[in-house]
Structure 1
């Protein structure tokens, strides 16, 4: 989850600042290659982001509309001002909050999870070993167990 000043990631910040026009114009095949390089960074076990799983993440970006949408509706809005703006309101939260974070998250370092759990009253943090940003892909069983217990505790 992007939080505070953590977004865009250094990779995307560089693309936005130095190469956005070229990346937007790139041929479809090159765009797919770029996404296929980025998506494995979202998991600890790189073997998980292959085959049908990788295809499922790529599918929303298929075709010219998907590529255009990716840049105009997603990348164009990569800006920390949105996540920084709510940071001061986190201590006001009065709802139960559980944070599941992959210990090996390459996109959002663990320091952000630790900061969130400090800023949100009564929040609990579960750091999941051998998991990346898409913790539910690396450790679906652990995620389900944590979510189930949390929901049962806070009906």
Structure 2
């Protein structure tokens, strides 16, 4: 799905109960069945899943929000951007959507959010698909630490575009998947001053202290979990997934060959199929 069609399908809602003022949330909500929540990472937004949403929606109600500060959700300079805050947002958002529990499919820092909630509110998280997720002290990576410097809030759109395109080139194993369509869509929210400042604030908020406390608690997370991991990732290497398999009691690893960090873009077909197969088997087992 191209960027224009993706944006037309997004809805918006006003979410109170998180900070003093209501926050605007942009999200996709398609399909019927058990709720399946898609959580993106940094520096992307829910468009990362543009090629997998419709396939997943054949069997599930797929809800894909832009996290606060990302994409076309609220980007004002008035709130925290940490993954702890994003976990607060997701809890409140699902309550707002009348979703008492969901399957979580989460990439990058979205995976950190999913694990925080699996620990904090286990009834909310039915299953987890963690894709090249942050965990332990594996993050933030050097590129995001550099991006978070306040001086980058003054970058011009073409300068931010260059940084983002370089990151996608580095994080895709299949150069042909850096299509003009994907490139246009994934950088679109970060082409104006508000978007640039917001992305820099997001990068500055990354803090390994929000996942390291979970290390000793992973063994208590009983949710069936699939680690859907690109083997070529140099940011969140597959060794992190192998460690998670040992620490999470109900986890299995699905390595994806010729895929790097941006797995839903590198190979959306395998990503969607592996997710659906896992969810079907996990639901039957439960």
Same fold (TM over 0.5): yes
Structure 1, 91-100 or 34-43: larger mean CA deviation: 34-43
Total equivalences in the alignment: 151
More strand by share: 2
Q: CA deviation at 1:14?
A: 4.5
Partners in 2 of 1:26 and 1:14 — Cα distance?
13
Q: Larger relative contact order (C-alpha < 8 A, sep ≥ 6)?
A: 1
TM-score (norm 2): 0.50
- Structure 1 equivalent of residue 206 of structure 2: 78
Unaligned runs of 5+ residues in structure 2 are: 1-132
Contact 1:41/1:107 (CA < 8 Å) preserved in 2?
A: no
CA-CA distance at 1:10 after TM superposition: 2.4
Deviations along 1:50-95, one digit per CA (max 9) or x if unpaired, are 30111111012221111111112x1121111112121211110111
Please point out which of 138, 141, 154 is paired with 1:6. Answer: 138
How far off is 1:15 after superposition?
Answer: 4.9
RMSD of equivalent CA atoms: 1.5
More helix by share: 1
Candidates 121, 125, 136, aligned match of 2:253: 125
Give the TM-score, by structure 1 length: 0.89
**In the alignment, structure 1 residue 25 sits paired with structure 2 residue 157:** no
SS at match of 2:134: coil
More deviation, 95-104/3-12: 3-12
Is 1:58 matched with 2:187? yes
Please give the per-residue CA displacement for 1:115-149, whole angstroms capped at 9, x wherever unaligned: 11111002000111100111121122211221111
